[in-house]
Amino acid sequence: MSKRRLQYPGEICRPHEKVVERIEVELFRPPYSPSVEFSAVQELARLIRPMEPVKAPRPGVIPGEVTPILVQEIKNKLYKNFPVDLSVARTDERLGLRDMGIVADAMTIISLTAGASFTYKLNHPSNDSTPGISGASETEFEIEELYVTNAAQAGAQAIIRVNWNPFVIRLKP
């Protein structure tokens, strides 16, 4: 490592005395502090500011101690209710989440007409069917699409609510 100096070596002197001594300061020496030679400890103490004690940010916190911080994720920010008319027969009909740019975190069957039935598949029509039951919910999947299958039932209707957070960054596999 080459020796680099400040522009000019400084001189320590008092107004009524001649030059006491010359100092040279080197930058980036291995403990990364300037090297300065002094003739007396009092002269060094005059140049160094006294350290102030570190104040705790709030009562009960010890300085230097790592304090755990609780971070809460906002799981769901938005939701949409999808009414499904069960009087029309359908087979693996898409609910339209992909077209709306929604990747849902949760899905709930809010209501289902008494005696009506349907099944749904999550994310792909080749997945297994799940029977639609009023009050049932899915919370363990990222739901990219929902496929509904039912036989025609006069006057029957279901309402499916999907919840999602548009601020969640999703990585593509």
pLDDT score of 77: 84
3-state secondary structure of 45: helix
Are 45 and 133 a contacting pair, CB within 8 Å? no
Predicted structure pTM score = 0.57
> In the predicted model, is pLDDT for residue 114 greater than 80?
yes
pLDDT score of 8: 47
pLDDT tens across 66-105, in order? 666 666 666 678 999 999 999 999 999 999 999 998 999 8
Walk me through the domains of the chain, giving residue ranges and CATH numbers: 1-50 (no CATH), 78-164 (2.60.120)
Are 71 and 104 a contacting pair, CB within 8 Å? no
**Cβ-Cβ contacts under 8 Å for 167 (sequence gap 6 or more):** 74, 77
CA separation for the pair 166, 150 (Å, rounded): 30
pLDDT score of 76: 72
Sign of the CA dihedral running 102, 103, 106, 112 = positive
CA separation for the pair 105, 33 (Å, rounded): 54
pLDDT tens across 119-173, in order? 999 999 999 999 999 999 999 888 999 999 999 999 999 999 999 988 777 766 6
pLDDT tens across 13-57, in order? 445 555 555 555 555 555 545 555 656 667 767 777 667 765 656
